[in-house]
Structure 1
């Protein structure tokens, strides 16, 4: 079993350079993360979409209440609603994010022979931007599906969005600037903090203890990135999701949406769904990072030696 190692950052010559390995490793960890944690994503989307003006049986008072009502009213399969577009896009986009991250680090060395915190942060931000640009159309489709209590096929949702709203910034690319900002902020912290702290902490001789070290750092990095970028995630969901009044666009643009939410619901509404988001993102972030490193290491050991 390959041992987790911090040598990638301390010794640049050991940085993984094969883009095929990076893509396969990113795909493997992404599929595992999506299948296990999709239900939390559905609950988070429902919580973020509702406002204080919504009353009645679809109003969710919290994570547990949302789980009970979705299960009772829509069945178990509702928790994996929108899974197809997520799997179709999340697998390659996350792979590309890690690929861009690893391949772009050399551009942010700032004359040093070893990566520094800014190397990881800026390379992570670049990966987040590319990921967001790929993700946007599929995110719009997914949020529309998850917001509905009806089972709508992905293709049907896509056709309806294109027919009614088009391909551009009001349709499939609705909220792209907010998603790009969110992707940049999250990954600057998530990837930047993880590799920086991992390189700064001593390795242990026991493989399991070293695994726990990586797990703790990955979980912390994911949590920090999640908390700091959550307002942008909430804004993105409001912009991309169904508007409160059909046919009338209420949430338009990042700053405008922030002002509307804070004025009508208070600034705490920007952190709506923080519990399920954290519960989903912390293990999800750890699975992605550890899975990526693990599979990448296996591929290197198997095919490079």
Structure 2
């Protein structure tokens, strides 16, 4: 009897894991394919140091940045560096949602149902786990995105990865450069993102009209992604500088933030905020809504 119950429990856990991985992976893949151009524009702004208009990396706004990229680098430039996110996005989001569900059980704090604090703590540690997995891909992606040549004249993803490993290794000067900044960026984002979305969604009654329910989830997801982007962007700017700049002064998250603040002012810590919000606002909505619907579909398919 005990053996049968253990087998049922293991089968249930495996099914839940498959559902969470499948739903999270699908959500991440769709989100990155749609929103990658905004991520690229965000990175270009964050790497911008000079205010001289003659500098090829001087951009006055999103439209100016995209126009210069299109004119100088071609239409395919908007998807520069997409291969590392594509490769990692499915397992990354799968890990993000899978670990969130597991951490959620850990942070119940004795309550029978999750509280807003439960969602926030689970999101924070899911972000830490996600960041450790994704950071090497972020290093390669930022290196590719900082290249101003046309795609056909730019080194491949494999060539850039090989160059980093050969010249700098796998440590914090190589493929794990900027790890602490990535951890703080993802942890802060996911803490608010999951905390706000699940807490607010829990207080809003389920709508009978499927379109109203869909739009409600989109609205909560958009708000979650937008506010979380505003909260974590100083860490994102620091990450981009550490991983993409040739300035060797950028070492350590807090040190880099202090250098940027000292040399460029407080507003520099929010460089790329608009394209980041334009990416992670809609992206946040896409990801959570796709996850919810895919989770429901897989649950219905595998458990019924």
Q: Does 2:274 match 1:279? A: no
* TM-fit CA distance, 1:29: 1.1
CA distance in 1, matches of 2:40, 2:210: 35
Q: Does 2:150 match 1:127? A: no
CA distance in 1, matches of 2:31, 2:269: 25
* TM-fit CA distance, 1:207: 1.5
Gaps of 5+ in 1: 1-14
**In the alignment, which residue of structure 2 is the partner of 1:213?**
216
Residue correspondences, number = 287
1:225-270 CA-partner distances (Å, limit 9, x unpaired): 10000111011110111314xxxx1211111111111111101001
Q: Does 2:189 match 1:189? A: no
**In the alignment, which residue of structure 2 is the partner of 1:288?**
287
Aligned with 1:173: secondary structure? coil
**In the alignment, which residue of structure 1 is the partner of 2:168?**
165
Trace 1:38-117 onto structure 2 (pairs within 5 A).
38-52=36-50, 55-56=53-54, 57-117=56-116
Deviates more, 1:138-147 or 1:100-109: 100-109
1:104-160 CA-partner distances (Å, limit 9, x unpaired): 211111111111011111111111011000011110000000000232211110111
1:16-52 CA-partner distances (Å, limit 9, x unpaired): 9711011111111111111111111111111110113
CA distance in 1, matches of 2:225, 2:62: 20
Over the residues paired in the alignment, what is the CA RMSD in angstroms? Answer: 1.5
Q: 1:52·1:265 contact (CA, 8 Å) conserved in 2?
A: no
**Aligned structure 1 segments of 4 or more residues deviating by more than 6 angstroms:** none
Aligned with 2:166: secondary structure? helix
Q: Does 2:297 match 1:301? A: no
1:190-227 CA-partner distances (Å, limit 9, x unpaired): 01110011001222221111111111111111111100
CA distance in 2, matches of 1:16, 1:51: 49
Q: 1:17·1:103 contact (CA, 8 Å) conserved in 2?
A: no
Gaps of 5+ in 2: 1-12
CA distance in 2, matches of 1:190, 1:132: 15
Q: 2:15·2:302 contact (CA, 8 Å) conserved in 1?
A: no
CA distance in 2, matches of 1:223, 1:233: 14
Q: 1:16·1:102 contact (CA, 8 Å) conserved in 2?
A: no
Distance change >3 Å, CA 235–CA 42, structure 1 → 2: same
**In the alignment, which residue of structure 2 is the partner of 1:199?**
202
CA distance in 1, matches of 2:254, 2:103: 30
Q: 2:51·2:58 contact (CA, 8 Å) conserved in 1?
A: no
**In the alignment, which residue of structure 1 is the partner of 2:3?**
none
**In the alignment, which residue of structure 1 is the partner of 2:144?**
145
